[in-house]
Amino acid sequence: MGDAARAVTILSTGGTIAMAGARARPALDIDALLATIPPLADVADLQARALLALPGAHLSTADALAVARAALAETHAGRGVVITHGTDTLEETAVLCDVLHGRPEPIVLTGAIRPTSAPGADGPANLLDAVAAAGAAACADLGAVVVFAGEMHAARAVRKVASLSPAAFGSPGRGPLGTVAEGRVRVAARPRRPTAPLPAPEALGARVPIVPTYLGDDGDALRAALRDGANAVVFVAFGAGHVSPPVLAALREAAAAVPVALTVRPENGVLAHATYGFDGAEGDLRASGALPAAELSPQAARMVLLAGVGGGCGRDALAHALDA
């Protein structure tokens, strides 16, 4: 099949790719799913097993960690990995796999927007492409990636950008790493990744809320997160890293108490350095003690904090993982 060079294991967790019916519900076990894709029978040394059978919206952090651990175990056996996953939370599991993964074997996540019973079901093509990527020598050292609609996206950049389109995933501001077509993988770019993976935590039990700012914000949402026992916080600033003066005061208090990842609201976001000079501009945020993570989506930054805090990482290790 194309340029496959390594053995591949498929780990199924459920999602639309395993659903059917007029109103999609879980319907296909792993064997039934593979039976919808006859070309997979020709793939040498392909193994498959089910881990879960859940819609993406039903996964817990414990489920995500169990999936990541199973994938890592397969890579330690020298196998490429495909994870079939519900698209609602696919990007969270992808970035968790990525920050815990330091081996060359790829971990490839995919799924579907249309159930198997729908006209134009996209799951079979996505899974076939994902297996090709997981087995391809060209995908060595990419970490975790998402393969969807013929495109391959880095875990740290990918976002679900459409609710019902088969082209559901993109990498805003960056674009895909490459493409998969006819079983052949083309890698056009390679992602920046941390130089070392985070230690695998025993659990993802930390309390890590996402706190966005908004017009009229007085900082109470940040203070409320601390009052509620947050172990870390993902903060979402305006624009290129801007807040009101009351929010800046609250951000300084929060960053002095717990790790705070600093993200921004625009999908094509960056944290500026020295464009603006008003109170609450990017220079103030960079000096607040919060940890820059503007290249990550808020949900991705949360997964990094969950893994890092769960693994006992200090501030420097968290900072590096958030801003590779």
Residue found under tokens 């969950």: 306
Please give the structure tokens belonging to residue 129: 């492409």
Please give the structure tokens belonging to residue 274: 């020295």
Nearest Cα to 187, choosing from 108, 126, 128, 121? 108
Q: What are phi and psi of 179, to 5 degrees?
A: -135, 160
Task: Compute CA distances 85 → 38, 106, 123, 304, whole Å.
Answer: 20, 16, 11, 19
Catalytic-role residue among 9, 13, 16, 84: 16
Helix (H, G, I), strand (E, B), or coil: what is residue 79?
coil
Cβ 94 vs Cβ 144: under 8 Å: yes
Angle, helices 298-310/315-322, rounded to nearest 10 degrees:
150
In the residue annotation, 16 being an active-site residue is answered as yes
The alpha carbon torsion through 86, 91, 92, 96 (nearest 10 deg) reads 110
Length of the chain counted residue by residue: 324
| Strand 107-110 relative to strand 80-84, pairing | parallel
Catalytic residues: 16
